[in-house]
Amino acid sequence: MHHHSNTPNNHEPMQSDYLSGPQIVPRRVQPDMTVVELIDQQFQAYNAARLSEAARLYVEEMLNPERDVTIGMTMAGALTPAGLGGCIITLMEYGFVDFIISTGANLYHDIHHALAMALHQGDFRLDDTKLQQEGVIRIYDILFEDKVLLDTDAFVRESLKSLPNRPISTSELHYHLGVQLIKAGVRPEQSVLAQAAQWNVPIYTSSPGDSSIGMNVARNALDGSLLTLDSLADVNETTAIVHHATRNGVLILGGGSPKNFYLQTQPQLWEVLGIQKGGHDYFIQITADAPHWGGLSGATPSEAVSWGKIKPDQLHSTVVIYGDSTIAMPLITAYAVSKAKPRPRRALLQKRAELLHKLQIAYKAGKESRP
C-alpha cells in the first residue's frame, strides 16, 4: 500500500513522520474472538496488514454511503468450485457488489451448485490416469463425477433455446441462465448466477469462448443458430456503468482477463472515447502473482496510474494482498458484513439501456467539441 505521509509539501518527512503508524503489539488471541477482532488486533504486518488495510478500505471508504461508490468485482481462478460463491452471494445480498466480471469457468461451475450436483473435497496427490479411468474430474483438491459436466452442458443447451437468435451481451446470457436456474428450483440460493439474476446484478465474461458455457454456444452455431456473444457490447456496457458512477471501486480476485476488462473501462473513456473521468478511485486485489514477471495479473496499482486506470491522487486507496482468494475473501466478507450496514442494491442490470444512452450522449458531445 502506498502511504502518503501527513507532512506538508514544503519539507521532507522527518523521523516522527516515519514513525506515525500504530505501534505493533503482540496481543493475545482469546477464545471465541470474532473475525473483526482477529483482523483488527492480530493482522499487523506483511500480508496480514495488507488484508487488514483492504478490509478497512472496503468498509470505511468503498461502502461508505457518502462516497457513493459503484463496486465492481472481478473473478479469476477456480473460485466457485471451492465454494467461494457463498461469499459473493453474501456481498451481492448486502448491496456490497454492484456488477461482476468473471471467467466463464466460474459461472459454469457455479451452475453445478444450483442444480445440486456434488463437488467433493479430496486429495491433490492422486493418480490422474486412474481418476480418468474412473470418470472423476479433478480441480487440484476438488473431485467430481464427469457426469456433472455432461449434465451441466445439457442444462446450458436447453437454456439457450429460449434466447433470441441474434448476438447478445454476456450480461443478457448470464441473466437468462440465472432465471432458468431459479425456474429449475433445486438450489438456486447456492448460485451466484441465480442470485445475481434475482437482484439484477449484471455479470460479464471478458472471454466468453473460453469456458464450457461458450463451448455450448459454439455447438449451437454448428446447428445454424445466430445466437452469439457480443464482447463489444460488454465493453460498452461496462464502460457505461463506470462512466455513470459517482466513484468507482473494484475488488479483484486473482487477476487475468477479468482484471483488465474492468480496469480498461477508464482508458476506453479517455483514450478511445475522449471522455475525461480521471481513473478508478478504489482498488483492492488479492493475487499470488508478482509484478516482476511483467504480467497483467501481478501489475501494481501504481503501474495502472500510468495508463489512466487509477487516479494518481487515490494511490493511498489501493491495496494488494499477496495471498490466496480462498483465505482472504471469506475474511474480508465476514469483516464487511460485520462492520458495514447493507446498501440499497443498485439493480444495474435493468439500467443498462439508460446508461448506454448516457454514454452515447457524452461521447457525441465530446466528438463535436474536438477539432
Amino acid at 78: A
Q: Strands 247-253 and 69-75: what pairing?
A: parallel
| Total Cβ atoms within 10 A of residue 66 | 6
Judging by beta carbons within 10 Å of its beta carbon (0-12, 13-18, 19+), is residue 357 exposed, middle or buried? Answer: exposed
On whether the CB atoms of residues 143 and 122 are closer than 8 A, the answer is yes
Judging by beta carbons within 10 Å of its beta carbon (0-12, 13-18, 19+), is residue 287 exposed, middle or buried? Answer: buried
Please, what is the Cα angle at 72 between 358 and 364, to 5 degrees? 20
Instruction: Pick the catalytic residue from 309, 341, 364, 367.
Output: 309
On whether the CB atoms of residues 280 and 248 are closer than 8 A, the answer is yes
Amino acid at 144: F
Q: How far apart are the first and last CA of the chain?
A: 41
Judging by beta carbons within 10 Å of its beta carbon (0-12, 13-18, 19+), is residue 15 exposed, middle or buried? Answer: exposed
| Total Cβ atoms within 10 A of residue 14 | 10
Amino acid at 348: L
Bridge partners (DSSP) of residue 318 are: 283
Which is nearest to 83 in space by CA: 191, 156, 174? 191
Query: Is 311 assigned a catalytic role?
Result: no
Torsion angle defined by CA atoms of residues 268, 251, 76 and 300, in that order, rounded to the nearest 10 degrees:
70
Bridge partners (DSSP) of residue 142 are: 121, 139
Amino acid at 257: S
Q: At what angle do helices 85-93 and 192-199 cross, to 10 degrees?
A: 10
Bridge partners (DSSP) of residue 247 are: 69
Q: Residue 366 has which C-alpha cell?
A: 465530446
Separation of alpha carbons 174 and 291, rounded Å: 32
- Point out the residues that are catalytic: 309
